[in-house]
Chain A
């Protein structure tokens, strides 16, 4: 009798089902009969990773291929990492338990900047050299995609190639080329990268030379070989209605964050909030038909046994077939005793009626996102919602029996004044007043208003990409001002940690010089930076110092003529559009949404979606 190392390790870690796989609907293949073994890496713990829709889609797309086996690879939690390192156990995939270093390719999804330390740490755990230039032919290719890939310059040196935009098609194209490349005698890594550099949407960082000015700003980004395009354009799925989507998904044993069927209703957003990267990078808006979604919902419910279904998109209220879809889903869910959750809805008569119809609605916790405290500042950021909208919606909610309202704002927005910060408190007070204006017998008891602020972080590919980010002290000052402006005990205030926002800001608009800092920070023990308990700000600051890099440099205002680290990436929306949007923001002028009037952002170049409705 002998026990496996895994059994011995799992006896002493929390939540062992994070590491054992074997869940329902897991894809099982014989690795011996496979040409390409792909590890889909999510740089966070199982519960977060398994909640990610992109993983489910690409897992499905890759495993539809007989020649490919896509397995899942997640960041082991700190207790597991300790046990693995103590036992010389390398990073493994959940499906087979095999070490990922033996794979052909591994791909990271970059969902948030604070996961970069986990990417590097996972490479280290896998036994793969951290930097692309140090990798030989015997280790897998390391690629990456996801929203942060649009400016992943801070970890560019660690990634062999990026896939920009939506991955369903491109991921198959690079696998096809991989098989071709394998047949070439004496093939080299460089050869493969040159072959795929021809594919639209592939960005190979090492094929671009970055030169810096004396003040550390970028002088130029130049392709260093013919196959590298001067500008790499993102990919999208032109026909989203028929884009591949799984009709069965893995059902985890443990409790994950989004433990339900997720229906992706549409991609993109018509709104154009000037701070919102997601609102720009996923353009143009493309919808799935209500009928397609209804069939999909039915198939997913029967293949998973889930008892809850949720719609997934940005700003779900903008879905043009929402009434039809929700009618269908309500009928289905009532019959099957399934819960339906509808996030991201604007509050109006339609959605209120809808919420009353839907089962399992707890009359607590409705979140509004006015984002800014005054109308002027809301116009600056193009959040087209008025005070009147908010007050009439909250009045409707209070009359409908809701008493828990959360108001979400950002502080540190461009051109923000004290008046704007105080405006947050005033708006919350007016919401409270609205409640008390309603006669007692028409409202529920115990009103509770929560004001929550996060700190604004200028992101690439937004109208505010040139803006300065508030310092930590400025943020703290504004948080204190807001605290003292809130007078009522019924209004609670919660705020976001300024240290995390600070670092996120550095990486969001960072350049290639940051890779040394990230590798150093990982050596210094940084990982799981998105988790408050594990975030080691002091170690990060120490690492910046050791690498002689001033993080504040990345938070400064940038000139319009400055070369931005992401200037060689094309998301469809043009720089000149962002410039126009920035100028309008300075004059507090709003821009209509895509369905009201086209503003010529450039996304029509993809020849599909809302631009051609």
Chain B
């Protein structure tokens, strides 16, 4: 038996699949690839598949990670090619590594880089440095214990903006992971609250990478 960490893309075609549906989907993918999945022991065995950090519905990504357990020892390239052959358009495995024990620990993920393409209600001057100069950015944030006001400023590490009339592109590095997970939607909400006249009519979110200690795991 061996464990593999896979890095994969999720494109526009498949961005609306919820996390739970995605896990079931991956099980079927591996069955179709005829790779022998490892199952958990116990009364109700389930396949050993672990997704690094759930992707929200509607979000695309270039750098998702999952870990799968296979019953047998396979060449990395073989596993990657076999799975890619059975994936529908929109999904692609772009990296793979056979790992031992705790090597590549998803719990270490603490940041993520996102790119958001936003359409503004009207052309507005977006002054990022002055936005970031706020000592605190208070917004309503959903947490395990309900919705409450939270200061998200300490969790924004960088934010850049390019603008063309009422279309802007935001690139941000923010806290992510089990410890503290900030959604780009919440950052945009804060911008709408703190930047005068800034109001989005629609935006699309793309996750560029997951980071652990400022480096990608794979």
Residues on A facing B (Cβ under 8 Å): 1, 3, 7-8, 10-11, 16-17, 20, 22-24, 26, 251, 253-255, 301-307, 336-337
Contact = CB atoms under 8 A, between A and B. Distances in A.
Interface string B67-94: 0000000000000000000101110000
Interface stretch (B25-33, B100-108, B150-158): B25-33
A304 B14 CA distance: 17
Contacts of A306: 28, 31
B16 A17 contact: yes
B17 A7 contact: no
A362 to B, nearest CB: 10
13 contacts: A3-B119, A7-B202, A10-B58, A16-B16, A16-B57, A17-B16, A22-B14, A24-B32, A26-B88, A253-B16, A253-B17, A305-B27, A336-B31
Contact of B21 (A10, A11, A22, A255): A255
Interface in B1-56: 13-14, 16-18, 21-22, 24-25, 27-32, 34, 39, 45
A489 to B, nearest CB: 31
Contact of A1 (B28, B86, B167): B167
Q: Is the interface of B mostly helix, strand, loop or mixed?
A: mixed
A58 B24 CA distance: 27
Ranked nearest first, the 10 interchain pairs of A and B with the lowest CB-CB distance are A305-B28, A305-B32, A305-B31, A16-B16, A22-B13, A253-B17, A24-B88, A253-B21, A17-B16, A1-B167
A10 B13 CA distance: 13
Interface residues of B, number: 30
A11 B59 CA distance: 10
Which of B14, B16, B21 has its CB near the most chain A CB atoms (within 10 A)?
A: B16
A16 B58 contact: yes
A251 B117 CA distance: 31
Interface in B169-193: 169
Nearest to B203: A3
B140 interface: no
Contacts of A7: 58, 202, 204
Contacts, number: 67
A22 B89 contact: yes
Nearest to A18: B16
Contacts of B21: 17, 253-255
A24 B30 CA distance: 13
A477 B43 CA distance: 47
A237 B192 CA distance: 63
B186 to A, nearest CB: 16
B14 A1 contact: no
A255 B17 CA distance: 11
Given A22-B88, A301-B31, 13 more contacts: A7-B58, A17-B16, A22-B90, A24-B28, A24-B32, A24-B86, A251-B28, A254-B21, A255-B24, A303-B32, A304-B32, A305-B32, A307-B28
Contacts of B14: 22, 253
Contacts of B24: 255
B27 A307 contact: yes
Contacts of A302: 32, 34
A306 B28 CA distance: 6
A307 B31 contact: yes
A17 B14 CA distance: 8
A337 B37 CA distance: 10
A95 to B, nearest CB: 12
Contacts of A253: 14, 16-17, 21-22, 25
A20 B16 contact: yes
B39 A337 contact: yes
A7 B60 CA distance: 12
A301 B169 CA distance: 44
Nearest to B201: A8
Nearest to A254: B21
A252 B193 CA distance: 39
Contact of B202 (A8, A254, A305): A8
A23 B16 CA distance: 11
Given A3-B204, A7-B204, A24-B88, A305 B58 contact: no
A337 B89 CA distance: 27
Contacts of B88: 22-24, 26
Max chain A Cβ within 10 angstroms of own Cβ: one of B25, B86, B169: B25
A443 to B, nearest CB: 22
B202 A3 contact: yes
A301 B30 CA distance: 12
A306 to B, nearest CB: 7
A301 B17 CA distance: 22
A305 B37 CA distance: 12
Contact of A304 (B18, B28, B30, B167): B28
Nearest to A259: B24
Contacts of B167: 1
A129 to B, nearest CB: 33
A171 B172 CA distance: 54
A498 to B, nearest CB: 37
B117 A305 contact: no
A79 to B, nearest CB: 14
A302 B35 CA distance: 11
Contacts of A16: 16, 57-58
B162 to A, nearest CB: 11
Contacts of A303: 32
A203 B13 CA distance: 40
Contact of A11 (B31, B32, B34, B202): B202
B17 A17 contact: yes
Contacts of B58: 7, 10-11, 16
Nearest to A4: B12
A605 B16 CA distance: 51
Contacts of A305: 27-32, 86
Nearest to B44: A360
A20 B17 CA distance: 10
Given A251-B28, A305-B29, A10 B16 contact: yes
A118 B58 CA distance: 28
Contacts of A254: 18, 21
B10 to A, nearest CB: 12
Contacts of B27: 305, 307
A301 to B, nearest CB: 8
B20 to A, nearest CB: 8
Contacts of A23: 88
A307 B204 CA distance: 34
A561 to B, nearest CB: 57
A478 B144 CA distance: 49
A7 B89 CA distance: 18
B194 to A, nearest CB: 23
